[in-house]
Structure 1
Amino acid sequence: MKPYQAIPICDRGEPLVPIPRDRFALVQPHPYQALGAPYGNQSPYSLRAGVLAALAEAQDQLQQQRPGWRIQIFDAFRPLAVQRFMVEHTFAEQAQARGWLAEALTPAQRSEVMAEVAQFWAIPSDDPATPPPHSTGAALDITLLTATGDVVNMGSPIDEVSMRSHPSHFAASPTPAEQTFHAHRTLLNQVMVSAGFRRHPNEWWHFSLGDQLWAWLRRQETGSDKFLAHYGRASVDLWVQ
């Protein structure tokens, strides 16, 4: 159990709404759908209504600083089945990277691989009190596009399981290129925080607003226990086509 999963949830009941394609850049094809992740008829490019409104505010802030730049959405809502699929997929990838077969691991090897995966992926839970952040519709993975539509170099790709994914990995680097990566990550974080979001401690690309991780981070910042999660696991009846 992760520390943020102890935060109480008082769900506001806001609907899941589509992220408008004419306002935000969406990665196409969606990377997890391309792997065969089981979305059914649910779109990964959906967020709670209040979260989407805040995302629009963040993009407005971005464009004040970098005219023509846009936020690109890599991933947003994940049904539990997708979260489980992606954890298993990442686990197999990390085992293979060590030269191991996922189906033939010793208990010690399995624990080693899962500990690494769990730094970046929330283990799926059917308990409504401990939903994975992306399954609430309040978390999303993003990067930036320039005015010419080029993806901004952040120094590592989204979902990379390595130390390079940590937001401040390049902060102390003396290399000009790596300082530029850090500046890009800082810009992304600044515009998202300005709209109320908070960034995952281990992932430069992951932001949330109103889920348990967000509430836990706000408690850490302020020392106050008044912050609760506004969004629990999104159910089918919240879906707006």
Structure 2
Amino acid sequence: MVGFSKPMRPWSDRPIHDNGEPLVALPPTLLRLEPHPYVAAGAPYGPSADPFQLRSGVVDRLLAAQQDLQARQSDLLLAIFDAWRPLAVQAYMVEQAVTAEINRRGIDRADREQVAAVRQAVGRFWAPPSPDPSTPPPRSTGAAVDLTLASQSDGGPLAMGGEIDAVDVISEPDHYAAAAPDSEEALWHQRRKLLASVMQSAGFAQHPNEWWHFSHGDQLWAWRSAAGCAIYAAAPSSSLTA
């Protein structure tokens, strides 16, 4: 793996004071999109690491967001795409994303300048797999979740105008804000705004480049909410409780 330099995000300077909450498995009332995409891709979770786990306080907030969603539209559910990631999985998936984008662009890996441009593009969406405890990737903390909206009748995800993990401007939350009224694009924007609204009402902050990524308690959340510090550091899988 080609290494990343120390991450410099707007939130990287936020101090972290972990509150000690454990990772807990998502309850059955939260829909999981399975098979899990990164497990299926061969990411190194290990035999006992469950990707569908988050800090206990984050799970409580997810349940509150889903209750709010169903109060607004009773036929919808939150659908969890991904939750906690060990550092090894983050490193593996970053390289998968880089390789996929190199292939999509038809770039020769020997072209260092173009490969560097790909890494920069991927870095807008994928946090560097930093082992530095002062700059953990958000997903490694158990604070962040990737999710979408789904129909309660069949559990099928709704169209949101772009796939989760797309390395593209269509991933930006307000990409379709200027869509013509009554167009398909306007519907996608409406759905993105609904998802953001229920998540923000439950205390989550949204990643500025990703319509699907929300967190509570990590450095990104501290930056976006003007909190004095993050409350979750990187979480080891050994903290998982039933």
Change (3 A) 1:236 1:32: closer
Identity of aligned residues (%): 47
Taking structure 2 as the reference length, what is the TM-score of the superposition?
0.93
Task: Tell me, yes or no, if structure 1 residue 189 matches structure 2 residue 196.
Answer: yes
Contact 2:107 2:115 in 1 (8 A): no
TM-superposed CA distance for 1:68, in Å, is: 3.3
The answer on whether the counterparts of 1:198 and 1:214 sit within 8 Å (CA) in structure 2 is: yes
1:39 corresponds to which residue?
Answer: 45
Look up the SS of the partner of 2:11 in the other structure.
Answer: helix
What are the Cα deviations for residues 14-46 of structure 1, in whole angstroms up to 9, with x where unaligned? 0000001x2011011100000000001211000
Distance 1:180 1:160, change over 3 A: same
Counterparts of residues 4-153 of structure 1 (less than 5 Å): 4-20=11-27, 22-40=28-46, 41-101=48-108, 104-149=109-154, 150-153=156-159
Distance 1:16 1:127 in 2: 20
Which AA in structure 2 matches 1:89?
Answer: Q
1:209-220 matches, within 5 Å, as 209-219=216-226
- TM-score, normalised relative to structure 1: 0.93
1:161 is matched with 167
Asked if 1 retains the 8 angstrom alpha-carbon contact of 2:52 and 2:82, the reply is yes
The structural deviation recorded for 1:2 is 1.2
**Which residue in 2 is equivalent to 1:207?**
214
1:173 equivalent to 2:174? Answer: no
Residue 232 of structure 1 aligns to a residue in which SS? coil
The structure with more helix, counted as a fraction of residues: 1
Structure 2 stretches of 5 or more lacking a match? 1-7
Runs of 4+ that moved beyond 4 A: none
Match of residue 235 from structure 1: 236
Partner of 1:223: none
| Two-structure CA RMSD over aligned residues (Å) | 1.1
Structure 2: distance between partners of 1:76 and 1:227: 24
Deviations 1:115-136 (A, max 9, x none): 1000000010011110000000
5+ residue gaps in structure 1?
220-225
Code of the aligned partner of 1:33: V
Q: Is the 8 A contact 1:73 1:141 kept in 2?
A: yes
| C-alpha contact (below 8 Å) 1:166/1:201 kept by paired residues | yes
The size of the alignment, in residue pairs, is 232
Q: Secondary structure at the match of 2:12?
A: helix
Write out per-residue CA displacement over residues 100-145 of structure 1, whole angstroms, 9 at most, x where no aligned residue: 24xx332212210101000000010011110000000000000011
